[in-house]
Amino acid sequence: MERGLARTSIAVIALSMIAVSPYVAAGPDVTADDIVRHCEYKNPGEDQSSRLSISLIDKDGNERKNVYERLWKNYHGKDGILDKMVLFTEFPPDAKGTGFMRWGYTAASGKLADQWLYLPQLRKIRRVSVRDPGDSFLGSDLTYGDIEERTADADEHILARVDELNGVKFHVVESTPKEARPLYSKKISWYAKVPDLEACFRAKTEYYDPQGNLLKTQTLSWQQVDGAWAWDRVEVVNHQTKHKSLFEVTDVKVGVGLEDRQFTERELKRGS
């Protein structure tokens, strides 16, 4: 059987309670910090290859879709590098061959991501600056701040309540940022309430703007491939602009042995 077929889908409602680490009980004394530390940070494996589809839908229902081949490698914070990712455009046809590369850094490094864009029509690579964590990621309703590493200690966490939906229980955690000028005044997240904290995951997050108004809602379903976690389907709805972004990840393979050279400008120009 191919490794990509050794997959467990984890839907928001139909949960698969599979432990991926030593058992950590979610007993009556579990704290909000415990939940965030164990449920927010899932093992992504050493590397992944996959197909990423991003659909952008405006308030009038007009849709723009992009499909990418995605390569990703975990650097575990070595030299301040958290991970590296390359996207090669497969659709739409007029953008085929366009390459995008991103190097992410640890929160401790204090660095924003480095990014490069290869445009085949010009045969040139351009450096793409990230000036603000609030900038949109690939035109979607996620920001660079949303996809950057954020440590559990960066926020104050409160276990607000336990919700139940279709017989499934969720810990609802309210997180308030500690920095003076945050992107959001708070975030409220739903984490699967399961006996083993290592098997829980985030299923939903509400983001509130600096004035305290609901800005957007993110809902997530996950998949496990060979013990590693990856997005399955993620939807982000901006309640203020009525814009929506849909991320779908398929054909996931884990531990494929990606090399450092595959995340260089030379390889970005050579293409998939």
pLDDT over 90 at 229, yes or no:
yes
In-domain check, residue 140: yes
What CATH number does residue 150 fall under?
A: 2.50.20.10
Q: Give the side-chain half-sphere CA count within 13 A for 111.
A: 16
Q: How confident is the model at residue 248 (pLDDT cuts 50, 70, 90)?
A: very high
- Model pLDDT, residue 27: 52
pLDDT in tens, 4-23: 333 333 433 333 322 233 33
Q: What percentage of residues in the chain have a pLDDT greater than 70?
A: 89
Q: How many domains does the chain have?
A: 1
Choice between 152 and 22, residue whose per-residue pLDDT is larger: 152
Q: Cα 61 to chain center, whole Å?
A: 24
Kindly report the average pLDDT of the chain as a whole number.
88
- Give this prediction's pTM: 0.85
pLDDT in tens, 28-43: 678 999 999 999 989 9
| Cα dist from 13 to 188, 219, 257, whole Å | 18, 11, 33
- Model pLDDT, residue 23: 33
In-domain check, residue 2: no
Q: Which domain holds residue 145?
A: 8-270
Which residue type sits at 224?
Answer: Q
pLDDT in tens, 52-68: 999 999 999 999 999 99
Structure tokens at 106: 């640890």
In-domain check, residue 1: no
* CB neighbour list of residue 240: distance below 8 Å, 6 or more residues apart: 209, 213, 215, 216
| Cα dist from 99 to 51, 95, 245, 264, 265, whole Å | 14, 9, 21, 11, 10
In-domain check, residue 3: no
pLDDT in tens, 77-125: 999 999 999 999 999 999 999 999 999 999 899 888 999 999 998 999 9
In-domain check, residue 36: yes
pLDDT over 70 at 73, yes or no:
yes
In this prediction, residues 208-234 reach a mean pLDDT of 96
